[in-house]
Structure formats: C-alpha cells, structure tokens
C-alpha cells in the first residue's frame, strides 16, 4: 500500500506532540473545608485551622492579620527557643521579675509555683505556633466592633475567653475583636528596618514596642489555658502610653507575682529577646528612660 508523504508527516507530528513530556499542571488551590464551630465561621487558613474568622473581614484585613501572626511567631520563637550561649535569664529578669526562675533560687512555695507557670506558659506558646492545636480549642477573630467593645483610639484588640461546649473543663473558645486602629499601624519589620543602621537605637525598646506583631502576641498571651494559666489580669491589658516604662516598673516594683499574669510583660520579654538576637546587641533592649549613656534620638 502506498502512503503519501503528507500523511506520514501528519502521523509523525501527532506522535511527537502526544508522546513528548508535558509541562506539569499546577495543583488546584486547597479548598477551605468547614470545621464545625459554634459561630459557623470558616478557618482563617488551612495552616491555622483552629482560628476562625468573621466573614466581614476584608481580604486586605486578612493579609494584615496574617502578617501580624507571622511576626508574633518570630517573637514567640525567640522567646521560647534555644540559642546556644544566649543569656535568656538576663531578659526574663528585666521583664518578668527577679523570681522568674525561683525553681533554682527559692524554696518559697508560691514563688516556685509562679516559676512553674511561666515555664508551662512558654511551652504552651511554643506549641501554639508549632502545633497542631488541639481540636478542642477555638480561636475567633472579628474585624468589626459591632458592640463597641473597643475604647476610643484603642490600637489593640478586645479578647475574651469562654466555653465552646460544656464538655471542656477549661475555657476553650478565645475571641478577639480587632479594633479598627489596629489595621492602621505598621509592622515590627517596618521599625527594625528603619533603625537597622542606627546602633544606638537597637537597645531602646520604645522604638519597637507598638506594631501589629507585638499587639498580636499581646492578644495571644490573653488566651486563657491555651497559652497563659493562670489567666492574665483583666486590668493589665494593652498599655499604649509609656508602655515600656510601665512594664519595666511593674517587674521592678511588683515583681514576678504581677508580671507573670500580665500579657504585656510576656510580650515585652519576647520583644527584648528578639531584638537582641536580631541586632546582636551586647545588652537587652530597655526603656529609653533606663538606657545607659546619652539617650538615642527618637
């Protein structure tokens, strides 16, 4: 049988096209599967499946919340990690009080109990970010303050703890309303980038204490039992004016007995560890009023 050259060419082209390696097709994006919860919210992301977010949060707000979570994770890793040769105790003593590690220095029962709680809290914070979080825990985020819980000008959030179901012996539903001003402030990275070349500012903690990352960590430290137990004092909430000085004074004058149940004490402690490791500073960051030598310009 005679086969014409054009037909052979067509067959050859068909064979080459269909037998040659095809470029891999991109995988479809993961779908947000519904996880039962009392509010009917969807998970914030597949990587944070126990955080549920109100449907009124915009895509832009979700991005800002994710950035804040990522920065809080950096702070938590610095605080709860282990860097060989680094003196964690020097920072903890400044922001959590002299008796932060009474297990090694005191025989007083209450002091040792507080130290045990601090170590347990550090471990729970570490597990929150390294996960997975227990399926008995629920974190709810709102981006609208429909009940006017936020104070005028408040830049943090309003956090509460409750029972998701009576099957839990502990508060396992943790709700944060993110006040509108929270979304208008910058990131920790903005601040560290701004002062990166100014060594005299590296040890002034006031330069870095108010941003979305530290605020996120502050609210996380108020998640009762999930992170902090005993729960943080309700009167020790987010301090916006002279924050660094007030937390310094709290640890210096009231000591560990107050600092270990104060969200800002843990937050400033984490920030000081992170900054010293980031900048390789000789001393931890302290309030401007406590900085040695001439004060660095703001």
228: three-class secondary structure by DSSP? strand
Structure tokens at 222: 């108020």
On average, the pLDDT of the chain sits at: 86
DSSP three-state, residue 161:
strand
What pLDDT shows up at residue 46?
75
Confidence band, pLDDT 50/70/90 cuts, at residue 168: confident
The first and second tokens of residue 126, run together, are 């570490």
Asked if 214 and 75 touch (Cβ cutoff 8 Å), the reply is yes
Which tens digits make up the pLDDT trace of 71-96? 999 999 999 999 999 999 999 999 99
Contact 228, 121 (CB under 8 A): yes
Q: Which of 175, 176, 177, 174 is nearest to 137 (CA)?
A: 174
Q: What is the pTM of this model?
A: 0.85
Q: How would residue 297 be classed by pLDDT, with cut points 50, 70 and 90? A: low
Q: pLDDT tens for residues 22-64?
A: 444 444 444 445 678 889 898 998 778 789 999 999 999 999 9
Q: Where are the domains of the chain?
A: 41-290
**How far apart are alpha carbons 39 and 131 in whole angstroms?**
23
Rounded CA gap, 213 and 226, in Å?
A: 19
Tell which wins on pLDDT, 176 or 12: 176
pLDDT at 47: 74
**What integer pLDDT is reported at residue 227 of this predicted model?**
96
List, as own/partner pairs, every contact residues 96-105 make where C-beta atoms lie below 8 angstroms and the sequence separation is at least 24, other chains included: 96/251, 96/256, 96/259, 96/260, 96/265, 96/266, 96/269, 97/251, 97/254, 97/255, 97/256, 97/257, 97/258, 97/259, 97/260, 98/255, 98/256, 99/255, 99/256, 99/257, 100/256, 100/259, 100/260, 102/256
Per DSSP, the three-state class of 54 is coil
Contact 158, 208 (CB under 8 A): no
Residue 71: predicted pLDDT: 98
* Residue predicted with more confidence, 189 or 171: 189
| 225-262 tens-digit pLDDT | 999 999 998 754 445 678 899 999 999 999 999 999 99
Give the CATH H-level superfamily of domain 41-290: Collagenase (Catalytic Domain) (3.40.390.10)
pLDDT digits (tens, 9 = 90+) for 262-286: 999 999 999 999 999 999 999 999 9
Answer for the pair 269, 247: CB distance below 8 angstroms, yes or no: no
């Amino acid at each position: 049988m005679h086969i014409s050259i054009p037909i052979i060419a067509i067959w050859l082209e068909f064979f080459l096209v269909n037998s040659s390696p095809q470029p891999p097709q991109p995988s479809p994006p993961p779908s947000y599967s519904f996880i039962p919860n009392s509010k009917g919210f969807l998970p914030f992301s597949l990587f944070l499946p126990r955080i549920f977010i109100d449907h009124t949060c915009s895509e832009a707000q979700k991005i800002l919340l994710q950035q804040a979570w990522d920065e809080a994770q950096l702070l938590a890793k610095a605080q709860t990690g282990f860097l060989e040769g680094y003196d964690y105790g020097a920072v903890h003593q400044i922001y959590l009080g002299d008796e932060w590690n009474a297990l090694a220095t005191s025989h007083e029962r209450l002091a040792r109990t507080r130290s045990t709680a601090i170590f347990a809290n550090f471990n729970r914070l570490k597990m929150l970010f390294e996960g997975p979080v227990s399926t008995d825990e629920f974190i709810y985020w709102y981006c609208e303050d429909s009940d006017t819980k936020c104070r005028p000008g408040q830049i943090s959030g309003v956090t509460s703890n409750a029972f998701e179901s009576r099957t839990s012996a502990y508060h396992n539903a943790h709700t944060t309303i993110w006040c509108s001003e929270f979304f208008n402030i910058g990131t920790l990275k903005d601040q560290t980038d701004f002062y990166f070349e100014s060594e005299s500012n590296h040890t002034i903690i006031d330069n870095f204490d108010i941003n979305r990352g530290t605020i996120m960590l502050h609210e996380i430290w108020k998640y009762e039992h999930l992170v902090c137990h005993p729960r943080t004092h309700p009167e020790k909430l987010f301090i916006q004016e002279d924050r660094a000085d007030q937390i310094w004074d709290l640890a210096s004058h009231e000591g560990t007995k107050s600092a270990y149940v104060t969200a800002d004490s843990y937050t400033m402690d984490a920030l000081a560890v992170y900054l010293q490791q980031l900048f390789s500073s000789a001393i931890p960051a302290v309030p401007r009023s406590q900085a040695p030598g001439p004060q660095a310009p703001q």
